[in-house]
Structure 1
């Protein structure tokens, strides 16, 4: 069997509802990747794991179980507090290592692993640590997802600056939506390249996800 190389990326965003899950589905389909959401806050009407699996038409074995499944659709630290749970980045790191080992044992060749965060990069996980601390602890490159809206330049630049200050490697931007034409300027000001730009989809279905994955697959494979 060909030797396995696992290439992980952490997909985070400039805020909540900027398109991380849809972006994860498109990238997962384009790269035939594995998908892991370490912290799921909110289980109804469905989880991000279920959404990505359905939209990207992924095999069940490539969807990996969450480290934390929390009932409340809220900031992880708040949802965990409600259930008297303490989110521990060390546990997430152990799970990550076990996942890498599992993929290496069950696959061959180059394998992509997409790890989707909760909310934006500075969403709190507990009283002291944020999503950015989790990325730093996992020691893997990140992908920043931005949605075009009034104020997104500010939120995008603050997220990029935070990564720079924390010495978090960023591979580039994924942009969503059609409001404004900020992508080139955000790339220029942040010094980070565009990986993909997804339009406002008329409907979010496996078919529209597959079409975007096909369009961007070569670019994503070349950069990632």
Structure 2
């Protein structure tokens, strides 16, 4: 399955960037296959691209959104590196050599940086599509969400449990405090309620405050 998924991603990359860019696509797929990754993997990239396909009509520059998906986790280091900034810089140095227009390169890099906080402006259609695709996992069913949370924990295996729980709870709480998790109408209708229930349940598990989860959250 892994080889098949790699081939599918390479096919998608060459359809986007052209056959001459195949070696860059191979490097990107290799990056998403690094052994320390448990969630930010080729499976995550493929899932994001599938959601972007579903939300394609909401984007203004679909090529930039797809380039940003390929690059958004190209650098993933859990030891204090600003992964979004490093990934954006990789896009800025890689894409011009492929003949990608400067405006598309700039938009791609902007979108990659946006995934650091998932706060697109109300009129940022490209940012809305990319961020919605990145956060769609939050609306997974119970078993898939548990697997996602466990995979994130595994990526930070070297972090003591107390510190991880505190940091993870802070990240999830910041998301939960947003008025809307999803910015496109399609994603909001499809994912918002389930994602909020999952967030509430995980925050409660991390903090031990099970009063966070209400009957409404679980419905």
TM-score, length-normalised on structure 2? 0.28
TM-score, length-normalised on structure 1? 0.27
Structure label with greater radius of gyration: 2
